[in-house]
Amino acid sequence: MLFSGAMTALVTPFKNNALDEEAYRNFIEFQITEGIHGLVPCGTTGESATLSHEEHERVIEICIDQAKGRVPVLAGAGSNNTIEAIRLTRFAKKAGADGALLITPYYNKPTQEGLFQHYKAIAEAVDLPLVPYNVPGRTGCNLLPETLARLAKAFPNIVGVKEATGDMAQGSKTLSSCPQGFSVLSGDDFTALPLMALGGHGIISVTSNLVPGRVAAMVNAFRKGDVAGAARIHHELFPLHEAMFFESNPIPAKTALHLMGKMEAELRLPLCAIGTAAKEKLTAVLRQMKLI
């Protein structure tokens, strides 16, 4: 299976409102050294919505170059504009990404047929493994299991989905509807273990920005059949999963990395400043878990 295990939705470090390449390379090295199974640059956690096209491409290039094939790179390349999504996906292929993560078109509120035609156009335009990203809480639309199964059966290069509805019933239906070998990845740290228990293949994680080794250990334990061990780690990490959403992602993740001394992780926009109460709660969780 091309995409499975614990994959980190990488934050994008900025310094003086510009991409901090040195910090990014060091951060990628930290992730790989800790045992993460894959990397996802330019997702929601990477503040893709506020990257210029030039920055977006450079973030992907750096990630691929630093990873050097040691783990797969699933590059964020989606857009609510089909033509732009095709362009970004073509770039990801040219740069050497192992696949492209494609968010459902946001703001447009497409129909299910519109979603099918959007992904069909990308799949036909670019011969690269593609993973739709379904996160209705961000986009205002839901890629339903029936539509996803239709896409998976029609286009062999649509190889998986990042399922971030938090709905285990939908996750179960997706698993039963899609072809064998189709990679269903949780997009919510809370649901990683439950979804794997249903037959899911791993997690694209926010929490692993902070503790990649622990998130990978949970997946490794489950893969080995140590369900009790995986559950122990799941419960151990649960306060951290909750903390990552005290404010909108990636505000808590970047704040936590700063508090932990992992990076000077500036956020791109002033509107992303963390609230005082949320920062206090986040600090308390980090102290409780002995991360600071």
Active site residues: 133, 162
CA dihedral 84→88→93→96, nearest 10 degrees, is 180
- Helix ranges restricted to H, the chain: 21-33, 53-67, 82-95, 112-125, 136-139, 145-154, 168-177, 192-197, 212-223, 227-243, 251-260, 276-288
Contact call for residues 63 and 55 (beta carbons, < 8 A): no
* CA nearest to 3, candidates 249, 132, 182, 141: 182
Strand ranges of the sheet holding 130-134, from the earlier edge strand across to the other edge:
38-40, 5-9, 202-205, 183-186, 160-163, 130-134, 99-103, 74-76
Contact call for residues 11 and 46 (beta carbons, < 8 A): yes
- The residues near 206 (Cβ < 8 Å, ≥ 6 apart) are 9, 45, 189, 244, 249, 250, 253
* CA nearest to 72, candidates 42, 32, 45: 32
Other beta carbons within 10 Å of 165: 20
Q: How remote is the C-alpha of 188 from its chain's centroid?
A: 9
Separation of alpha carbons 179 and 169, rounded Å: 18
